[in-house]
């Protein structure tokens, strides 16, 4: 059994992480994320260095982390499109959160988090977040990784 075989058994939620900095807003589909401390409360999200959202997030002070409803189209918008080429928020219901961070209205739940540290993990960078606000908007199970495996990443290779 190899590491790919091990990770293929996992089916954690996917997230949309959004950021705003320097007059730009961005968001992307994220599969690598999770709570990493109980006390103090901490959560880490890993953004690909090839992703446009990473470029915005490295200048941001706050990120928003959204659990998606059972809406493959929403996941595909944030996973398959490149934010450097299209406005992923065009036509969506969203509001502005702390420091201009886009908040998706259709999320099952979301939180905003202050970026405490960044960790280089190889082709991804981990953003350690301290939760600021938490909202549960809808009932239902969030979209999972296995439900999005057909989405091809929209960022440049």
User: Helix/strand/coil (H, E, C) string of 33-97?
Assistant: EEEEECCCCEEEEEEECCCHHHHHHCCCCEEEEEECCCCHHHHHHHHHCCCCCCCCCCCCCEEEC
* pLDDT value for 21: 97
Q: Which of 24-28, 89-93, 105-109, 153-157 has the lowest mean pLDDT?
A: 153-157
What percent of the chain clears pLDDT 90, i.e. is strictly above it? Answer: 69
> Cα–Cα distance between 119 and 102 in angstroms, integer?
23
How much is the mean pLDDT over the chain?
A: 91
Q: Does this model's pTM top 0.85? A: yes
pLDDT digits (tens, 9 = 90+) for 79-94: 888 888 889 999 999 9
């Amino acid at each position: 059994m190899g590491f790919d075989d091990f990770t293929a058994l996992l089916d954690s939620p996917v997230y949309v992480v959004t950021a705003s900095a320097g007059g730009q807003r961005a968001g992307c589909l994220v599969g690598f994320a999770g709570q990493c401390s109980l006390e103090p409360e901490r959560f880490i999200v890993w953004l690909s260095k090839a992703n446009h959202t990473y470029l915005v997030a490295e200048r941001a002070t706050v990120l928003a982390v959204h659990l998606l409803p059972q809406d493959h189209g929403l996941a595909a918008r944030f996973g398959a499109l490149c934010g450097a080429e299209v406005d992923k928020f065009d036509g969506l219901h969203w509001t502005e959160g702390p420091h201009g961070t886009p908040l998706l209205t259709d999320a099952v739940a979301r939180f905003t988090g202050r970026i405490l540290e960044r960790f280089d993990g190889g082709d991804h960078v981990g953003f350690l977040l301290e939760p600021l606000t938490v909202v549960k908007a809808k009932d239902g199970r969030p979209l999972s990784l296995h439900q999005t495996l057909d989405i091809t990443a929209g960022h440049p290779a």
